[in-house]
Structure 1
Amino acid sequence: MPRLALAFRNKGNAAMMRLMVAGAAMIGVAATAQEAPRAAKKPYQVTSPNGVREDDYYWLRDDSRKNPEMLAYLNAENGYADARLAPLKPLQARLYEETVSHIKQDDSSVPYRDNGWWYQTRFATGADYPVVERRRTPDAPAELMFDQPVMARGHSFFALSEWQVSPDNKLVAWAEDVVGRRQYVLKVKDLATGRVLSDTITNVEPNIVWADDNRTLLYIAKDPVTLRGYRVMAHVLGTPVSADRLLYEEKDDTFQMGIMRTMDDRYACITVQSTVSDEQRCAPAGDPTRFTVLAPRAREFRYSADHAGGRWVIRTNRAAKNYKLVTVADAQIAGGVAGWQDLTRPSDSVFIEDFKPFDGFVAINQREGGNRMIRLLDAQGRSTAVEADEPAYQMALSVNEEPGARVVRYSYGSLKTPTTTYEVDAKTGARRVLKVAPVPGYDPANYVTERLWAPARDGTRIPVSVVYKKGVARDGTAPLFQYSYGSYGISMDPAVDAGRIALLDRGVVYALAHIRGGQEMGRGWYDDGHLLNKKNSFTDFIDVTRYLVAQKYGAKDRVAAMGGSAGGLLMGAVANMAPADYKVIVAQVPFVDVVTTMLDASIPLTTFEYDEWGNPAQKPFYDYMLSYSPYDNVAAKAYPAMFVGTGLWDSQVQYYEPAKWVARLRERKTDSNPLLFRTNMEAGHGGKSGRFERYRQNAEWQAFMLDQLGVAPGGK
């Protein structure tokens, strides 16, 4: 997983607090200090094959999370943030209340059918977590599978990740995390009695596959240091974990792994993938030991396969940069690419992102013109696009578990249209609305969404999705809030967010910049925004800002920018490259110490990402990464107001990256603009768990941002 979107160890609370208090005394700061904390400088040299760098704040790294001096510094920063944000508490509370008012408390998902049962999740009023239920028929009494509000009790963090029901519908296996570091625990229970079996497996990926015997579970074991999933194991219920059988071990640490059953449940498959290469091996689900490699890995060769209707359907970039679909018969699957037959033609303008095979057709998720859409391909080769009604939107394949179905479920949404679940008939194209996500107190007719095309400095046109409330004048006076990500080929699609409505209602114009590094415009869009082209992501973002200001969507002195994780890298680079273009920058769990992190293969994710950022052991990549790494390029100059957030238990972007960055900013910046650093001591990469908690956390930086933009508490 990329440095995207962990939490608190609830053992040893008192001990940790004692350490923080002791550490505060050591460095002479208090948690409520009105003056900004200053981290101690301790000389340290980071060595590499291509040079030595001085890092006075390297000492802030503590993999045990127990260093009293480090904890005291984080605590002091939290105290300083508390003090500076205290006057904004009423606004923060109001933003949270407004956000929650747009959330239907007793909401439930659209039921879906799988292997003869109907499944659904349901929230009770006030609950942070849903229950998971199933029924034999849509009108039958519900059978409780997971009571997550009860399961979460006593935990500062709780996440129920993947769960899988056995083929005979009697058992369910699931992966849960009560720390937030994504080291999951696999458990199993009897659905008839609710009894949790003794089988418990720790430090696994949230990826589970049942064999047809209803007794064998396939799972992925993680390396305890790097947290890389590297071994596929088979566990037989009722036997000790020490007896589990190794089915496959991935030796190349630049690859990550997954396991799955095919759409028709005939095969169990192991997938390994890197940025530029894939390999898939599959075995009959009745005997998941005899795995056949579908096609051997090769650099710049990617593919993923699924099975339905008596054939394999494969998405591949072989002779198709934007991907195509091919098919191959069961009898030819072991022959590699020789038996592959094209289902679709390669295209320079249409990027195939995903697909779902059914018995008589294939549903395809594709991108064209910056929008994510769906088309259906029948057995005769006829292609039909599913209709859309707005200039900037997204469609995504939803839960479709039955290969014999005639209809396809998908979701539709935009920056003004709430997520709507549809069924489309594969033969007639007729659409039926199953559910419109309820957004109380929100009327889409009161808002305007647009698709703009901003010129980048090299002439490339960057798609931008914009939304604002009707009546906001396009006269260059409005506050502008711009967001982006731009890494790993991950595309940012427009959607209504309950937490954004309060900003729009205060006259803020929101812009989603689809910069290079994602795949909104195809694989070439990604290629032009990673490795030695990474700076295009940063300059695209800046050029979008300047275009929106020039077109009077926002005021030059009222621009806010936000990004998280790899999008936090974007924020750090933008802050160094164009600080005068932004009044305020929000960087959440930011990946800002690029070179040092990528030099350390023991840090989770590092080895996966050499093809994303480059391997700094090679001098061209070292020099290029060093030229934009936010931490290495902090200079003695004025910076915008900044809010930086992290989680102590983050395994995706370690807490010490933003901690070091903030410390260096405090040392070098020449302005008097506020710099606030919030460390959630009980969370990881995604913040605290729970339905409402993220909105409570968001209200803090939103209040800070609105205050810096000069937006009055109740409006413009």
Structure 2
Amino acid sequence: MPHAPIARADHAADPYRWLEHRDNKEVLDHLKAENAYLEQQLSGQLALRESLFQEIKSRIRETDLSLPSPWGPYLYYQRTVAGDEYPRHYRCNKPADGTLTVDEHSEQLLLDPNALADGGFISLGAFSISPDHQRMAYSLDTSGEETYQLFVKELADDSLIELPFADCDGSMTWANDSQTLFFGELDDTHRPHKLYRHTLGTDSADLVFEEPDGRFFLSCYRSSSERQLIIHVGSKTTSEAWVLDAAAPHASFTCVAPREEGHEYDIDHGMLDGQWCWLIRSNQPGINFALFSASEAAPSRTHWQLLRAHEPQIMFEGFSLNQQALVLSLRENGLPIIEVQPQGQAAYRVQLPDAAYSLYVQDSLEFDSDVIRLRYEALNRPAQVRQLTLATGAQAVLKQTPVLGDFDADHYVSQRLWATAPDGTQVPISLVAKREVLGNSAPLYLYGYGAYGESLDPWFSHARLSLLDRGFVFAIAHVRGGGELGEAWYRAGKLEHKHNSFSDFIACAEHLIGIGYTQPSQLVISGGSAGGLLMGAVLNKRPELFAAAIAEVPFVDVLNTMQNPDLPLTVTEYDEWGDPNQPDVFERIKGYAPYENVQAQAYPAILAVAGYNDSRVQYWEAAKWVAKLRAHKTDNNLLLLKTELEAGHGGMSGRYQALKDAALEYAFILKILGMDAEQNG
């Protein structure tokens, strides 16, 4: 039986720092040895992995047509074809009757990522049609490093130009002349810090905006009205916006409100009561944000007029503008709410069938459209695209993601539970299982994230059915640090309050055990990126509580990373984790950092996955963590590291590869829980 790879430990403060030497032969050999060890240990599951892959794939309609979107004289849409990793992008003439029926006679292939990938990694960044519909700008990442090449295609003759610019962030924003493009450049830490203006037919670009502060990221986008260009510059706590008439791309951008530490705002341009105006979402009146308006000619802070006041119990997350209505995205009691304010009519809230769900505005369509599209799904309900008539609130399901085979949503039950944290805080849990499973102790998969104010709203998964149909419960722990219960919930799980994320997750696990839904020998936990930090921290604190853990691109070497300002994202992350150059912050992060706190104790089985080209969480975080765990843990439980040598933060590209990754993870879980023999047999 081959032994696990043992990494060399140097006599240094960080004995595994040598693993940070990218492209060093010893490092690459070690990562390849770990990959080989994983395959050897899971060799008995090869048939099961293939069976799971085929099982998951069989539920997915491999050849499908996306819901076409009308814009100008065309319908734009995508097609997926069985065997292809990526959807192809098309357009056709828009039918005169206003329907969404695709006219195959006028169909035009715009982009085929399958041909561009040629079997390798590819990720599409921008995909932007010019306002006159004559050109297409798009960007490609071919390594997973999230650095993009820029292209412009003439749609009349399919001629293609690669723009001669390097270190691009992938963004491409058209001005209204359909000749001028704005794009972003990355600095040495992979931060978008410069915005350039390029005129087609030239080989040069003019620097328009530069952001020197390492905490701030820069982006550029078109307003909902299509009449304005907006630069947004933001850190984790502060933002600033600059605006420009999209018909005058060579003029100068104007600052809306100069940055003030702690003031976050975002801006869009549209129409209210028949007048062009600016809409501004700002946290100055309170942490849950308020809404202001300003005339088109005077967007500066002194001219803002309050439209919607701050509400302590309702988080105002965002808004969508349309000539017919103002659509607000709210969050109340942990659930997303869509509130519509039609022009000249009373406001109303969109009504939905489930108790726990995910909901957002997917597409506001053309600015003068009288309908918008919502995306709605639940743990037991496949995603639906719903058309909402703005004036009346009427809804129609235009498309539901199909689930092939024997699937009935009513065979699964979704619940919202509440766990009590050590400080008395009630922490929500969303879960789903087959009806006959709930109430009995069962294998349970508990997922968590808890950072950056991100909300883990319940989502449907074709792959997850392979666990649910084997008697699993799937649950999400909505711990502090996420945004599910508003800004205060986020702030209660960051900086000096980060420990609440860990204690909340443990409380959720203990609650699920306490009510008899599972037991430690059946409990699997999972999280990725900042959720991987969560996994590492709770494994150090309560390893006996879990049977297995999955850590995807885990941010487990947080202390060392936050001390290296040359790495991507580090400086801007000070607002999330703190600056360890301050002694008290150093000690605080050191107190929970997963890598620093590995102990001589028994750990559950662990599968860690890293991306060698990951620019957000470097591959060595998982590699160093696994190396230290191997050297210190006192058990014989399986510890595996998989490094995707041709992928970045999002893993391998392509839909089939994602299914194979899920099959590997599920086979690992079934092996650890002793359920693989019955599956293979």
Give the partner amino acid of 2:69.
Answer: Y
Out of 231, 235, 240, the residue aligned to residue 198 of structure 2 is 235
Change (3 A) 1:281 1:660: same
In structure 2, distance between residues paired with 1:382 and 1:208: 38
Query: Alpha-carbon deviations, 1:182-231, whole Å to 9, x = none?
Result: 001111010111110253433211211112222211000111x2111111
Give the partner amino acid of 2:556.
Answer: V
User: What residue is the counterpart of 1:412 in the other structure?
Assistant: 376
Q: Aligned pair 1:108/2:65, yes or no?
A: yes
Q: Aligned pair 1:61/2:23, yes or no?
A: no
Out of 638, 650, 658, the residue aligned to residue 614 of structure 2 is 650
Give the partner amino acid of 1:41.
Answer: A
**Per-residue deviation at 1:457?**
1.1
Out of 41, 44, 51, the residue aligned to residue 87 of structure 1 is 44
In structure 2, distance between residues paired with 1:556 and 1:147: 47
**Per-residue deviation at 1:556?**
2.9
Q: Secondary structure at the match of 1:632?
A: coil
Whether the 8 Å CA contact 1:199–1:238 is kept in 2: the answer is: no
Higher relative contact order (CA 8 A, sep 6+): 1
User: What residue is the counterpart of 2:110 in the other structure?
Assistant: 145
In structure 2, distance between residues paired with 1:402 and 1:169: 14
In structure 1, distance between residues paired with 2:92 and 2:218: 33
User: What residue is the counterpart of 2:231 in the other structure?
Assistant: 270
In structure 2, distance between residues paired with 1:491 and 1:711: 32
Q: Secondary structure at the match of 1:491?
A: coil
Out of 420, 431, 436, the residue aligned to residue 455 of structure 1 is 420
Q: Aligned pair 1:332/2:278, yes or no?
A: no
Give the partner amino acid of 1:457.
Answer: P
Q: Secondary structure at the match of 1:624?
A: helix
Out of 622, 635, 640, the residue aligned to residue 671 of structure 1 is 635
**Per-residue deviation at 1:88?**
1.4
**Per-residue deviation at 1:432?**
0.9
**Per-residue deviation at 1:659?**
0.5
- After TM superposition, the structure 1 = structure 2 runs for residues 465-544 of structure 1, keeping only pairs within 5 Å, are 465-475=430-440, 477-544=441-508
Query: Alpha-carbon deviations, 1:660-708, whole Å to 9, x = none?
Result: 1111000011111110111111111111100110110121121111221
- After TM superposition, the structure 1 = structure 2 runs for residues 244-643 of structure 1, keeping only pairs within 5 Å, are 244-288=205-249, 289-309=251-271, 310-333=276-299, 335-336=300-301, 338-380=302-344, 382-441=346-405, 442-475=407-440, 477-643=441-607
Give the partner amino acid of 2:143.
Answer: V
In structure 2, distance between residues paired with 1:463 and 1:572: 21
Whether the 8 Å CA contact 1:530–1:613 is kept in 2: the answer is: yes
Mark the runs of 5 or more structure 1 residues left unpaired by the alignment.
1-32, 45-53
In structure 1, distance between residues paired with 2:316 and 2:198: 36
Give the partner amino acid of 2:648.
Answer: G
Q: Secondary structure at the match of 2:561?
A: helix
Whether the 8 Å CA contact 2:522–2:546 is kept in 1: the answer is: yes
Query: Alpha-carbon deviations, 1:263-282, whole Å to 9, x = none?
Result: 11111111111110110001
**Per-residue deviation at 1:565?**
0.6
In structure 2, distance between residues paired with 1:705 and 1:400: 41
Give the partner amino acid of 1:452.
Answer: L
User: What residue is the counterpart of 1:19 in the other structure?
Assistant: none
**Per-residue deviation at 1:712?**
4.6
In structure 1, distance between residues paired with 2:14 and 2:443: 37
Out of 173, 185, 192, the residue aligned to residue 209 of structure 1 is 173
Moved more, 302-311 or 210-219: 210-219
User: What residue is the counterpart of 1:23 in the other structure?
Assistant: none
Q: Secondary structure at the match of 1:499?
A: coil
In structure 2, distance between residues paired with 1:190 and 1:320: 48
TM-score (norm 1): 0.91
Out of 115, 125, 150, the residue aligned to residue 82 of structure 2 is 125
In structure 2, distance between residues paired with 1:354 and 1:612: 21
In structure 2, distance between residues paired with 1:292 and 1:548: 53
Whether the 8 Å CA contact 2:281–2:292 is kept in 1: the answer is: yes
Q: Secondary structure at the match of 1:418?
A: strand
Whether the 8 Å CA contact 1:284–1:290 is kept in 2: the answer is: no
**Per-residue deviation at 1:257?**
1.0
**Per-residue deviation at 1:715?**
6.5
Change (3 A) 1:316 1:715: farther
Out of 661, 678, 681, the residue aligned to residue 697 of structure 1 is 661
**Per-residue deviation at 1:381?**
7.1
Give the partner amino acid of 1:510.
Answer: F
Change (3 A) 1:382 1:621: farther
Query: Alpha-carbon deviations, 1:572-595, whole Å to 9, x = none?
Result: 001101101001011011001111
Give the partner amino acid of 1:133.
Answer: Y
In structure 2, distance between residues paired with 1:599 and 1:495: 36
User: What residue is the counterpart of 2:97 in the other structure?
Assistant: none
Mark the runs of 5 or more structure 2 residues left unpaired by the alignment.
95-99
Percent of residue pairs bearing the same amino acid type: 38
In structure 1, distance between residues paired with 2:52 and 2:313: 41
Give the partner amino acid of 1:43.
Answer: H
Q: Secondary structure at the match of 2:29?
A: helix
Whether the 8 Å CA contact 2:322–2:364 is kept in 1: the answer is: no
User: What residue is the counterpart of 2:186 in the other structure?
Assistant: 222
Whether the 8 Å CA contact 1:164–1:208 is kept in 2: the answer is: yes
In structure 1, distance between residues paired with 2:606 and 2:444: 16
Q: Secondary structure at the match of 1:202?
A: coil
Q: Secondary structure at the match of 1:600?
A: coil
User: What residue is the counterpart of 1:43 in the other structure?
Assistant: 11
Whether the 8 Å CA contact 2:455–2:482 is kept in 1: the answer is: yes
Change (3 A) 1:340 1:92: same
**Per-residue deviation at 1:714?**
5.3
TM-score (norm 2): 0.96
Moved more, 113-122 or 279-288: 113-122
In structure 1, distance between residues paired with 2:348 and 2:374: 15
Moved more, 596-605 or 145-154: 145-154
In structure 2, distance between residues paired with 1:222 and 1:617: 25
Query: Alpha-carbon deviations, 1:215-259, whole Å to 9, x = none?
Result: 211000111x2111111001111212xx31110000111000110
**Per-residue deviation at 1:383?**
2.1
In structure 1, distance between residues paired with 2:646 and 2:207: 35
Q: Secondary structure at the match of 1:189?
A: strand
Whether the 8 Å CA contact 2:667–2:676 is kept in 1: the answer is: no
Q: Secondary structure at the match of 2:167?
A: strand
In structure 2, distance between residues paired with 1:165 and 1:349: 40
In structure 2, distance between residues paired with 1:592 and 1:191: 46
Instruction: Indicate the RMSD between aligned Cα atoms, in angstroms.
Output: 1.4
Q: Secondary structure at the match of 1:96?
A: helix
Give the partner amino acid of 2:115.
Answer: V
**Per-residue deviation at 1:321?**
1.2
Q: Secondary structure at the match of 1:646?
A: strand
In structure 2, distance between residues paired with 1:520 and 1:715: 37
Q: Secondary structure at the match of 1:659?
A: helix
In structure 2, distance between residues paired with 1:219 and 1:714: 54
